[in-house]
Structure 1
Amino acid sequence: MKHFIVRATAIFGEIAVAVLDTVKEQEEKKRLLDSGIREVDEMTGKEFEKFLEVHFINFDYSVTLTQDSQDYGADLILYKHGEKTVVQAKRSKNPVGIKAVQEVAGAVRHYQGNKGIVITNNRFTENACKLAKSNEVELWDRTKLIEFILTAKNCK
């Protein structure tokens, strides 16, 4: 009987931890969905990736976050309607240059994606824009990101 009580207590403890983890995940998801561009400007790179993840999920994408290192230039892989989109997320205080475009162009090939996007809270350099055009990489600057956020808020 004593063994049963100890085991039952352990199981209930595991359930309580799982419930708390789920509640924390839901609170974090809500915080990210409620964030605007000012909050984005204060996020870490990893938080920005999670921010994009929850927003794309909100738009019915299946999303895979890549590992933190050796990601081959991709931060997120989006799936929708049989299309695979490779995303490089750049939360930056400075304009984004050609390196991000080079990375996502290579990642599209590596992950056998249909297209690549670089998303930033800033703007892109002229050279990044030229390279993106010649590699058919889509660029989402601050203006496009704000539109995306506002559309997401209107679709709740």
Structure 2
Amino acid sequence: MDQSSVIFISIMSAAGLAVLVFAAFLVSRRWKRRRRSQLMDEMEGHDFEYFCADLLRKNGFLDVEVTKGSGDYGVDILAEKDGVTYAVQCKCYNAPIGVKAVQEVYAGRDYYDRMVGAVMTNQYFTSAAVAAAGKLKILLWDRGYIDSMMEEQD
């Protein structure tokens, strides 16, 4: 073999190794993200609230505060981002989230004098909840939205 063939083979081997390392990195990130998403389903309600508060902080929210457990008027987290104040209701369930969560954060938003109300969940929402949220101007942050928030912090 001449020297140019040896150099070419060396370059191709290095490139192949780089592709393998990059692929392993991507698979590792995807596995880690999926595992975090699964852990979310195993959390108790209060743990999920702190998980959501931490996720909001990592996504640029400021003055993030978890409210006291009982008598919170349907609001689990108070936060602010870009001059907008939020009241967030967290629901860690194993079934779709219904209208009640939307109603609770609607009332809690006004009680805490916040600009925006949102329901944040590890699940998805019923069609009735989506319709109510549209009428009451409540944001719905479902599992897909939370997953995208986790991706942004990676």
Q: What TM-score range do you get, normalising by the shorter chain?
A: 0.7 to 0.9
**1:36 aligned onto 2:67:** no
Identity within the alignment, %: 33
SS in 1 for 2:88: strand
C-alpha deviation, 1:82, in angstroms: 2.5
How many Å separate the matches in 2 of 1:41 and 1:65?
19
- Residue 124 of structure 2 corresponds to 123
Asked whether the equivalents of residues 59 and 149 of structure 2 are also in contact (C-alpha less than 8 Å), the reply is no
Offset from partner CA, 1:76-115 (integer Å, 9 cap, x none): 0012232210000001101100000000000111111111
- Residue 88 of structure 1 corresponds to 89
Asked whether the equivalents of residues 59 and 152 of structure 2 are also in contact (C-alpha less than 8 Å), the reply is no
C-alpha deviation, 1:55, in angstroms: 1.6
So what's the TM-score if we normalise by structure 2?
0.74
Q: Structure 1: which 5+ runs fail to align?
A: 1-32
So what's the TM-score if we normalise by structure 1?
0.73
For 1:55, the aligned partner's letter is L
Higher gyration radius (CA): 2
Q: Structure 2: which 5+ runs fail to align?
A: 1-32
Residues paired across the two proteins, number: 121
Matches for 1:127-142 after TM superposition, within 5 Å: 127-142=128-143
How many Å separate the matches in 1 of 2:47 and 2:66?
12
C-alpha deviation, 1:141, in angstroms: 1.2
Asked whether the equivalents of residues 89 and 105 of structure 2 are also in contact (C-alpha less than 8 Å), the reply is yes
Matches for 1:3-14 after TM superposition, within 5 Å: none
